[in-house]
């Protein structure tokens, strides 16, 4: 995630807070089937990592089966909290990170790897801040509720701070590793037709499923709530008599503004404060964008810094967990799948968070439908497990004497 989960200037205006996403009572029959203990950890090929409860709730809504996570045989040193279930042909483990940022995600990734040795795909799913390209083509314009799938991760806050400037470390040694061949092949398939169209349709279908189950709390907030302010137009008091700190300089902002909404401060009352958009109409379905994602421990709340980094590094979104888990999980394919809930500027609020979390979860499921390599591995793993089970039942021979013969499978007498 990229947005703070605490001090929201508009939390009071939301229908429900992020932590209170619950399944709608009107659809209890659509809950995933529950069955007994989960398969062994080595039978899981896919992991989904979420930093916020709102993100994890949206993902679990799309589980077609769930298992008892308390019976999961994870490594003794593994402190992660998991939910386990199935999405399509995949056994999926959902990681609930204890917090946001690189340390939490790196720790979670290390624990995940210790318990689940055969993961082939890890998806970091949730919400992020968008870096809108106002001069882009209409199809490339980022709107709130669109979703970004990473083609790479840039650790934008790793570098040297000199007086008045920051120089990012950009050598091959300092940069995060490239996508795996399998992930690159998947993205190549999804960026071309018919893969792109199929992905878009699947996202819409799964989003509708989530909205049916979670109700109005994950509804699209409305096109009029999607405002992109000009980078230099700050979230601050407008009247000099109201606040001497904000009135002192053009770029001065007082601490009280962090707790206030744009409506309370009167942001955007002049049309000139807003960027014109290429897609003014309401989107009928979220657009999936592919591009580089900036990852760091700082919540980006500055339009001018956002644009400077986007221009320098070519990133289209900002988030806080990708860099932490990237190198630790490089033995498998990692992708960031995050939906844009704000524009990473000083006006950011939580109005789009629930909807964006639902879009991200829907996109993750749509991606899994195309993860053929992983599907093949899961089928093979299941086959091996099934054969192993049959083999054990048929030919298990106790290695110690004193075992009653009725404990033996496939044998009528002790050898």
For Zn ion, the closer CB: 262 or 288: 262
Cα angle, residue 401 at apex, residues 400 and 406 outer, rounded to 5°: 100
Q: What are phi and psi of 122, to 5 degrees?
A: -125, 125
- What's the closest the beta carbon of residue 57 comes to Zn ion, in angstroms? 28
For Zn ion, the closer CB: 235 or 306: 235
CB 319 within 8 A of CB 338: yes
CB 34 within 8 A of CB 66: yes
Positions in the binding site for Zn ion (CB under 5 A): 235, 237, 243, 245-246, 254, 262, 267, 347
- What's the closest the beta carbon of residue 149 comes to Zn ion, in angstroms? 29
280, 286, 288, 294 alpha-carbon torsion, rounded to 10°: 80
Strands 46-50 and 90-96: parallel
SS3 label, residue 12: helix
- What's the closest the beta carbon of residue 247 comes to Zn ion, in angstroms? 8
For Zn ion, the closer CB: 243 or 332: 243
Cα angle, residue 413 at apex, residues 410 and 415 outer, rounded to 5°: 100
> How far is 21 from 216, CA to CA, in rounded Å?
10
For Zn ion, the closer CB: 5 or 349: 349
For Zn ion, the closer CB: 182 or 242: 242
- What's the closest the beta carbon of residue 202 comes to Zn ion, in angstroms? 35
SS3 label, residue 266: coil
For Zn ion, the closer CB: 4 or 182: 4
> How far is 114 from 109, CA to CA, in rounded Å?
9
For Zn ion, the closer CB: 105 or 349: 349
- What's the closest the beta carbon of residue 266 comes to Zn ion, in angstroms? 8
CB 316 within 8 A of CB 340: no
Task: Give how far Cα 338 sits from Cα of 51, 134, 352, Å.
Answer: 11, 20, 13
**How long, in residues, is the chain?**
415
SS3 label, residue 197: helix
SS3 label, residue 211: helix
For Zn ion, the closer CB: 12 or 139: 12
Tokens describing residue 75: 């490594």
For Zn ion, the closer CB: 134 or 204: 134
- What's the closest the beta carbon of residue 133 comes to Zn ion, in angstroms? 21
- What's the closest the beta carbon of residue 318 comes to Zn ion, in angstroms? 18
- What's the closest the beta carbon of residue 320 comes to Zn ion, in angstroms? 22
> How far is 91 from 126, CA to CA, in rounded Å?
20
> How far is 134 from 95, CA to CA, in rounded Å?
35
For Zn ion, the closer CB: 81 or 254: 254
> How far is 325 from 163, CA to CA, in rounded Å?
31
- What's the closest the beta carbon of residue 225 comes to Zn ion, in angstroms? 12
For Zn ion, the closer CB: 11 or 245: 245
**Which alpha helices (DSSP H) does 257-371 contain, by range?**
262-265, 303-313, 322-326, 353-368
Euclidean distance between the first and final Cα of the chain, in Å? 60
């Amino acid at each position: 995630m990229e947005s703070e989960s605490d001090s929201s200037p508009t939390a009071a205006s939301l229908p429900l807070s992020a932590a209170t996403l619950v399944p709608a009572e009107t659809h209890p029959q659509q809950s995933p089937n529950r069955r007994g203990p989960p398969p062994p950890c080595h039978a899981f090929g896919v992991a989904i990592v979420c930093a916020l409860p709102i993100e994890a709730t949206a993902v679990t809504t799309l589980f077609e089966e769930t298992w008892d996570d308390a019976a999961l045989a994870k490594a003794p040193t593994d402190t992660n909290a998991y939910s386990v279930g199935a999405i399509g042909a995949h056994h999926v483990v959902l990681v609930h990170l204890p917090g946001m940022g690189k340390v939490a995600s790196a720790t979670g990734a290390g624990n995940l790897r210790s318990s689940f040795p055969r993961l082939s795909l890890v998806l970091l799913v949730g919400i992020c801040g968008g870096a809108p390209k106002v001069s882009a083509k209409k199809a490339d314009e980022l709107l709130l509720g669109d979703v970004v799938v990473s083609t790479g991760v840039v650790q934008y806050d790793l570098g040297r701070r000199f007086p008045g400037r920051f120089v990012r470390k950009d050598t091959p040694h300092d940069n995060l590793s490239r996508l795996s061949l399998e992930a690159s092949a998947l993205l190549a398939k999804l960026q071309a037709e018919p893969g792109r169209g199929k992905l878009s349709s699947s996202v819409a279908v799964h989003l509708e499923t989530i909205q049916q189950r979670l109700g109005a709390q994950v509804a699209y907030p409305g096109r009029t709530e999607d405002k992109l302010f000009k980078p230099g137009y700050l979230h601050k008091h407008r009247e000099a008599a109201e606040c001497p700190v904000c009135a002192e300089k053009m770029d001065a902002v007082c601490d009280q503004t962090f707790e206030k909404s744009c409506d309370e401060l009167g942001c955007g009352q002049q049309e000139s404060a807003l960027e014109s958009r290429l897609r003014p109409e309401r989107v009928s379905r979220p657009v999936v964008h592919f591009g580089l994602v900036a990852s760091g421990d700082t919540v980006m709340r500055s339009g001018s810094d956002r644009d400077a980094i986007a221009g320098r590094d070519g990133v289209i979104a900002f988030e806080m967990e990708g860099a932490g888990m990237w190198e630790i999980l490089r033995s498998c394919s990692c992708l960031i799948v995050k939906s844009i809930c704000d524009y990473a500027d000083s006006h950011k609020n939580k109005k789009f968070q629930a909807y964006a979390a639902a879009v991200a979860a829907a996109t993750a499921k749509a991606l899994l439908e195309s993860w053929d390599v992983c599907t093949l591995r899961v089928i093979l793993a299941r086959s091996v497990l099934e054969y192993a089970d049959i083999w054990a039942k048929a030919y298990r021979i106790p290695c110690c004497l004193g075992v009653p013969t009725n404990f033996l499978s496939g044998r009528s007498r002790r050898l």
